Amino acid sequence: MRGGPLVVVGDTLLDVDLHGTVGRVAPDAPVPVVECQRERHRAGGAGLAAVLASGFGDSEVVLITALAQDRFGQRLHDLLCPHAQVISLPLDGGTPCKIRVQASGQPVVRLDAGDGRARPGQVSAPAERALRQAGAVLVADYGRGVAAHPGLMALLSRLAAATPVVWDPHPVGGRPLPGSRLVTPSQGEARRFAAALSGDRQGTAGCDSVLATASRDAAALCHAWSSAVAVTLGEGGALLYTGEAVPFLAPAEAIRGPHDSCGAGDCFAAAAAQALRSGGLLTEAVTEAVRRATQFVRQGGASAAPGATIPGDARQVHDVPRSGPPDVHGDMDAWRTVAEVRAHGGRIVAAGGCFDLLHAGHVGLLRAARGLGDCLVVCLNSDSSVRALKGPGRPLMRAEDRARILTALECVDAVVVFGEPTPVAVLDRLRPDIWVKGGDYAADELTEAAVVRRNGGEVVLLPYLSRHSTTALVAAARGKVAS
């Protein structure tokens, strides 16, 4: 593992989401009137990458960016400080701000303000010290001057041979630093960059497949930029080209239902940079970045990232505590799936447990449970919850891996992880029509039965295959190892 912080260099902007409903049309113009109910502020651009990176490792995160001395700049500074050390460069003009208005979940309009650009000049002592001490550097280039700062780039050029540099480019930005360890364009960005290299102004890809086009573009950019290139393919994962004859593909897990991928590129680059800072190989960094970006989108994307919310009926701002994207597999997917099934009149079935080493007894129970309704949601004990129930040697697998195995079963529609000793709180929110437990439980042992029935659901015990238990499997395995 490399020492030193992860240093994020780039342009930061303020994202403001206004959420409301539309109940009428304006009397003076044929436009909807949005009744604003909630206002949410969060960091965008390099600021979002820094916030996310702070949740991906135990290293310090330093953000070198440009902020004006205006209300947007001060708001950003307040949002960023719980997650990263902020080193601010002078900004000529106003701090960029993007205001998105949504009504009943649908975008209505986006308003952009602030034309600021980073002012060229000497690199401050704190910025130079942070870069020289960096374990890795992530450059998030949004074309507003920080990634083109002559002093910063000259210093980075001298450090790149020994310090991993991840460059997240954008079409309005400049050429990545030659010798960067990894450049992370999206599929569309890679196509445009490669087309510009070849003089193809239309940027056409012919009839090639997505992978063939991405491979060709990545190879061209790798040679032109003297860097490994990872082209992000959305639901297709990411394709890494390092100059070898065969590229490396890191696939992504499927995400059910509609989702917002805004900010996924920042998440991918932040995760890759943290993995390289920890000494990971390029293939390991790209694989981890795909996993993190998929999880980020599943949890709601940039709209669910740490920020601050102002309720429509209050002026006080409530800051979200420091954290990365929730490290819970499938929660957002679970609630979305339940809402869709319930909207169509379907019956929700829920089952719960630790599922630490999935065995035949578990599978039989879950299959039977799924047959009772139209959707099966598994309520899964978190790692701390399992440890409290089973002792210090458990769980054998972390919650994220247990959830991944469960969702691979055809009979399981979604998984939600809970951290309490019992699933009472999650069931109160889930409100299943049927709550299922194995027949090895007695009805009077189910403390959660009351909340299920209070919400109109019923509780049933299903037959449970005898002679199958995780505890017995663990004991048998340990006995064989000991012998």
Q: Report the phi/psi class of residue 390: left, alpha or beta, with left for phi > 0 and alpha for psi in -120 to 50.
A: alpha
Q: Pick the closest to residue 191 from 235, 233, 246, 226 (CA basis).
A: 233
Is residue 82 exposed (0-12), middle (13-18) or buried (19+ Cβ within 10 Å)? Answer: middle
Cα 78 to Cα 61: distance, rounded to the nearest angstrom: 16
266 in active site = yes
- Which position has the token pair 């010798």? 179
Distance CA(477)–CA(194), nearest Å, equals: 54
Return the exposure string of 456-473: e unless at least 16 CB atoms fall within 10 Å of the residue's CB, then b.
ebebeebebbeebbbeee
Query: 133 CB contacts (<8 Å, ≥6 apart)?
Result: 4, 5
DSSP assignment of 388-413: HHH-TT--SS-HHHHHHHHHTSTT--
Q: Is the preceding peptide bond at 395 cis, omega within 30 degrees of 0?
A: yes
Structure tokens at 322: 């420091």
Asked if residues 94 and 68 have their Cβ atoms less than 8 Å apart, the reply is: yes
| Catalytic position from the list 17, 141, 266, 333 | 266
Q: How many CB atoms lie within 10 A of CB 106?
A: 8
In degrees, rounded to 5, the angle at the alpha carbon of residue 198 between the alpha carbons of residues 206 and 248 is: 70
387: left (phi over 0), alpha (psi -120 to 50) or beta: alpha
CB 121 within 8 A of CB 130: no
For tokens 């929110």, what's the residue?
429
E strands present in 91-147: 91-92, 97-103, 106-113, 117-118, 136-140
Catalytic residues: 266
